[in-house]
Amino acid sequence: MPNDYDSIPRRMGNYWLDTRLGSGYSGSIFRAYNVYTGDYVALKVQDVNHECPTNRYEEYIYPLLQGADGMPRLWASGVQGKWHYLVISLLGSSLESIYRGSGKKAMDLRSVCSIAIQVIIRLQTMHNREVLHRDIQLGNCVIGLPPNETIIYMIDFGFSKRYIDPYTRRHIPDSKVKRDFLGNYWFTSVGVHCKGKVPSRRDDLEATALMLIHLLTPGGLPWTRNGVPKTDEHHRRIKRAKELARTEDLCRGMPSEFEEFLRYCRRLKFAECPDYEHWIEEFRELARESGFTDVDKFIWPPPPQQMKPLPVRPEAPRPTVTPAEMENVLHDLAKLQLHNRPILADQTNVLPAQINKQAEGSDKKAADVVDLCSDTTGGGTAPEPPKNIPPRTPIRVKKATRLEKLRLSVLDATNNGALSTVVAEFSTFLKETGSKTLTREGFAFLDALYKQLADPSVFVQPMRTRSATEQAFIENQPAHVKLGVVARLRREVGTAQSNRMLAKLVADFGTVTNKSSTRTVTKDGFAFLDGLAIRLKALHA
Ligand SMILES: Nc1ncnc2c1ncn2[C@@H]1O[C@H](COP(=O)(O)OP(=O)(O)OP(=O)(O)O)[C@@H](O)[C@H]1O
């Protein structure tokens, strides 16, 4: 039901309406002031007969959120004539208008980290108070007015809901029945938007992840680029694009935290409590490592000395490597003389001359390389990148750096004792980072380990590369298949008699982890890695 704005009285209760700040489907919002105190507020007006009485819902939710940082205060509410009104703290611009107003194609990393930290904290507050937001988007995150302009506030609780039943104290039930989508086109989670699932805490977080990725993507998330859908067909196309978009494609070129955060949100179970603290820390650390200070504050415009180059990803698809360029790479690889590196593998049947030949003849396997730029394999001294190939984006700091160091330690290990230490460190590191997702650097580590255990002189297809058809097949595999394989590997690792046998187990572990949709290391997976470290030590003795 559209609002008849002209009939809205100039005075509502003790408040005099000034300028209109915004309006949405459900009502209008005005800047207003208290006629007795002169204090400015925001006043949200809605027709009492509106088909979607969001003001009434908000009136119920606001008291649950009072007093918390970043939550607007509800000063008054009431009905005047045919109008229901809410009087709330007057705030500043929304992130939507800040982003649009910047004229930039993507937001800087410092600002996005601040948004991540603050929005996750806000959601933690809301969820602790048993409320789901259910409409996370840039327009519903606004900054305060001076002196609170560095604080991000949540607004618009018209779709919010208590997820703990106040009487039974139980979490709202899940349901298999598909429900109408509630939220917004751009950021509402795939589960809720495309699959009609019941929203829970995980979906507020997934919407946050998508919002962050949107801000870092030049031109925004792919399905946002043609504007709000005007037809059902357009809406269907958006849902399809959203559902089919692969996490790694959405996050290509960004610090790995964003990809991991999105994967994490999508792995959460319906009633699971997210680990807010972990992700707040992850984004703080990412910001710190990128050289940003005071990142809990959203400072706009961003301080000039902290305006680092954006983790821009190329908008056009990465050009494929030409045969000539590939030849250059292989030539350089051959020059690495892998046969001179310390070899731990069982070499009984491999004569030095053969090893040499294998290194030189490794171009036969070149066609197997699916994505040369995104996976790190091979020896320590990297060859000069061939000309005309776009440079790799200089990001994925921290975890990536640590994993890369571990990978190099694998390649430098000269005996099983040293390898055992590195494997134990790898396992501990993964456990401590909290994120159990194996990133590409994690797979590169396994690739290196496999090579050391099997035969470092042979080119090995990286475990993580896979085609679209493999991906589709993998996604149809039930989770218990992976669990069963890893449990077997865990058992077998304790009795493996040689490095070759261990190499085979590592390869199976990499393959099965890669085959799971989330690429996570399970409890059995960690037991396997720890068992591997112990076995290597035993074989060394
Ligand atoms: N407290 C506030 N102070 C200042 N501006 C505000 C405030 N609340 C909302 N606004 C502005 O008004 C816009 C609409 O507000 P809000 O989202 O609460 O209303 P809505 O009717 O639910 O809108 P929509 O239909 O777009 O969800 C916001 O994007 C923001 O720009």
Q: What is the pLDDT of residues 130-163, one digit of tens each?
A: 999 999 999 999 999 999 999 999 999 999 999 9
155 C-alpha vs ligand 1 centroid, how far in Å? 7
Q: Which atom of ligand 1 is nearest to the CA of 94?
A: 31
Q: Which ligand 1 atom lies nearest to the CA of residue 27?
A: 21
Q: Which one of 5, 21, 52 would you pick to mutate in the ligand 1 pocket, going by the greatest count of ligand atoms within 8 A of its CB?
A: 21
Burial class (CB within 10 angstroms; exposed 0-12, middle 13-18, buried 19+) of 275? middle
Residue 377 DSSP one-character state: -
- The span from the CA of 271 to the CA of 482, in Å, is 23
Q: What angle do CA 366, 252, 208 make, to 5 degrees?
A: 155
Cis peptide before 317 (omega within 30 of 0): no
Q: How far is the CA of 156 from the centre of ligand 1 (A)?
A: 6
The two structure tokens encoding residue 279:
């992700």
Output the CA 205–ligand 1 centroid distance in Å: 21
Q: Whose CA is nearest to atom 8 of ligand 1?
A: 155
DSSP state of 94: B
Specify the ligand 1 atom closest to the Cα of 24.
Answer: 25
139 C-alpha to ligand 1 centroid (Å):
7
Please state the atom number of ligand 1 nearest to the C-alpha of residue 156.
Answer: 18
Pocket test for ligand 1, best of 142, 145, 185 (most atoms within 8 A of CB): 142
**Interacting residues of 187 by C-beta distance below 8 A, sequence separation 6+:** 136, 137, 207, 208, 210, 211, 214
Of 56, 155, 188, which is best to mutate to test ligand 1, by the most ligand atoms within 8 angstroms of its C-beta? 155
- Mutational test site, ligand 1, from 5, 23, 29, max ligand atoms within 8 Å of CB: 29
Q: Are 95 and 248 in contact (CB under 8 A)?
A: no
pTM to 2 decimal places: 0.65
> How many angstroms separate the alpha carbon of residue 29 from the centre of ligand 1?
6
Percent pLDDT > 90 in the chain is 62
Ligand 1 binding site (Cβ under 6 Å of any ligand atom)? 21-22, 24-27, 29, 42, 54, 72, 88-91, 94, 139-140, 142, 155-156, 158
Of the listed 108, 135, 203, 375, which one is catalytic? 135
Looking only at the bridges linking them, the beta strands covering 141-143 and 83-89 are unpaired
At residue 311, the 3 state secondary structure works out as coil
Residue 155 Cα: closest atom of ligand 1: 18
Helix (H) or strand (E) run with residue 497 in it: none
Which pLDDT belongs to residue 33?
Answer: 98
Which protein residue's CA is at the shortest distance from atom 4 of ligand 1? 91
From the list 180, 161, 167, the residue with the least C-alpha distance to 239 is 180
C-alpha 516 to ligand 1 mean position (Å): 41
User: Diameter of the chain by CA atoms?
Assistant: 94
CA-nearest residue for atom 5, ligand 1, is 91
| Nearest in space to 283 (alpha carbons), one of 270, 272, 298, 271 | 298
For the CA of 153, the closest atom of ligand 1 is: 1
- Stretches in the chain below the pLDDT threshold 70: 1-4, 306-397, 434-435, 456-480, 516-518
**H runs (alpha helix) in 413-522:** 416-433, 440-453, 468-475, 479-493, 499-515
Give yes or no: 135 in active site: yes
CA–centroid distance, residue 503 to ligand 1 (Å): 58
